[in-house]
Structure 1
């Protein structure tokens, strides 16, 4: 044994801002645990040594868990694109109340878990996943067809100036003239 006893390292908040850790690392929510770091993806406690955290990020278990998506969350942002984003807050509460009332798991391989999808996450999914996909579809649909651009400039309640851009074109898929929202600045 060495001259000095091993000391316990504490979880550092600055690690949570690093690119490798920011998606999954947090301090351990269990104060009685002997480890002070926690992986939100794997739902396990981790020793607060940076090298251990880096090793954990490269494990196959962590990578598989990070790739898994809660399939119940996928339709909700699509629903929110047709309604207000605030409705997602209420919708997830309703879905979770059904899970609380349901005692049987006959149609599921695992017991019901709470669904966590609110405005912030929903907005990010719409902005970073759904919008680019819809834009690619629009560009593909327009192709080399002639089109016109429709501009609408307005000011909202908070005195922010907005510029909405629409595109009008003949869609070969729909065999009709279509006016489609393009972007807002």
Structure 2
């Protein structure tokens, strides 16, 4: 028979073991809950679109929670990083379609491409053409217009431009006109020229005398420039030579 002291010791040891086991279980549960709370959710990274093997087909549409393959026209999850994207890139269907797209790009597909950069480009071109059509401007000026747009400064500067009808008128009359008139006068001082005059009437029925000059430029090409517009009381020869 065991003594009471031995019974108490066994009971104490048993209780201590249960307490330790309980604490371990509690710690394990706590760690598991903690890991669940800090679970990482992958975000779509724009730089993926420039990496192999994604650069020729990967994009992400605005307000969409999925990546998009515009070659296969399917949505792809990126919540686990590149795993699903790489799996899609290795499928036979994707490899076949991508090869066809690279070998025989469709002009229609290229024009209506779903990549963000191409969409922005198409919208910009459409806005320029629409501006020309709405204002009855000849489409032949589009080359010069594109060159002008490309020469403009950074977008931050363009956003600060405040140019209305009145300001534009003053800019032409008080700034550009005197400058180009003086520049033309300096050119005529260095080379032979002829004067051409003609009477005209503007929309307000005001009589004007157009003074033009014809001369040979540095490339030995003939040029005709407007030198001045002079208001007249009438268009008779007597008034012109008065």
Q: TM-score, normalised by structure 2?
A: 0.29
Q: Which structure has the greater CA radius of gyration?
A: 2
| Bigger helix share | 2
Q: TM-score, normalised by structure 1?
A: 0.36
| Bigger strand share | 1
